Amino acid sequence: MVVYAPAALLFLVFCVSVLRERRKFSNAVVLGLAVLCALAGLLYRLVDSGSASAPFVLWALLVLGAVAVLVLTCFLFLNGVRMLRKEGRSPTNLLSLLAALGVLAVIALLATAAALRTPLLIGAATAAGGLALYFSFLFLCFVCYAFLYGRLRVRRKADFVVVLGSGLINGSTVPPLLASRLERGREVHARLSRRGGSPVLITSGGQGPDEDLPESHAMADHLIAQGFPADLVRREDRSRNTEENLRYSKAIMEEAKPDYRCVVVTNNYHAFRAALTARRVRIRGQVVGSPTAAYFWPNATLREFTAILVDYRRSNVVMCALILLGGVAAWWAAGRG
């Protein structure tokens, strides 16, 4: 059982870290490392056992991995095409398609390097494969922990429910994506009220250059038209992005009640990154997500992951530099051989 000790230790660190502060990306990485160590221990025990079925199991795992990559690539490609048809050709709508093409490019480079075995191709394939594994690991960590975060319980009592804006249609109309957030905000508000509280709901969003009014005003009007009490709505109408949503909403909450607690509402694909931002601006509260259309989720998740990579760009640049140096070392070693 010693081979599972690293996995057990990492899982213990993960549990303690989540109990102390669930809004950390390091939680996702530690959980991913724990799973990797557990799988490594399992494979070691399988090989070390000398079982006749060990080679079959290893080959089955390799085939399963190859099939999973193929299925994922096809899914990303088809989702990318659907996004272009439904949402238009903006750069952010191309992420699924670009991810599929990136996977195919890495596979083609690895196959070419294995066939030709030239030093330059070996170095390039080593670097590309290393980068692909690194970002794939981080992405899986992100997706799995974001799923887990979305299912962790929030506090039983809160003084505010903050609904984040997401843009308007035709300058004044609440789109389905934002309507989903508002409906989730109503549900959270109702649940908190049933527990004896009287929270205030803050609609958060400023006015964009192509909008006729601030998003927060359209959101508040949408809620009031559906019967939500107007006296329980506050409007934060200066923000232009998620961080400003949270900073300006925080100022409203601190002014009303310095020791406030809140629940922040956004879409499910955005909840974990919003939680990371909430931690950075020191919001006292957790984030919950509302449902998102299935076709929209993969591309939106890739967008959120890309944004997180940018937020942690220093550590990612260092890791990428080390991987590229590994590619240079492989090129040099192949040339000497």
- pLDDT digit string, tens, across residues 232-260: 999 999 999 999 999 999 999 999 999 99
* Angstrom distances, CA of residue 16 to CA of 23, 70, 276: 13, 37, 18
For Cα atoms 88, 93, 162, give the angle at the middle one, nearest 5 degrees.
105
What is the predicted pLDDT for the residue at 224? 95
* Angstrom distances, CA of residue 90 to CA of 49, 174, 293, 297: 54, 20, 18, 16
What is the predicted pLDDT for the residue at 50? 74
Q: How confident is the model at residue 337 (pLDDT cuts 50, 70, 90)?
A: low
**Position with higher pLDDT, 155 vs 96:** 96
* Angstrom distances, CA of residue 196 to CA of 156, 159, 176, 193, 244: 10, 11, 31, 5, 30
What pTM value is reported for the model? Answer: 0.90
Of 236, 247, 151, 253, the C-alpha closest to 200 is 253
pLDDT tens column, 272-317: 999 999 999 999 999 999 988 888 888 899 999 999 999 999 999 9
Please report, rounded to a whole number, the percentage of residues in the chain having pLDDT higher than 90.
69
With a cut of 90, say whether residue 225 has pLDDT above it.
Answer: yes
What is the predicted pLDDT for the residue at 247? 96
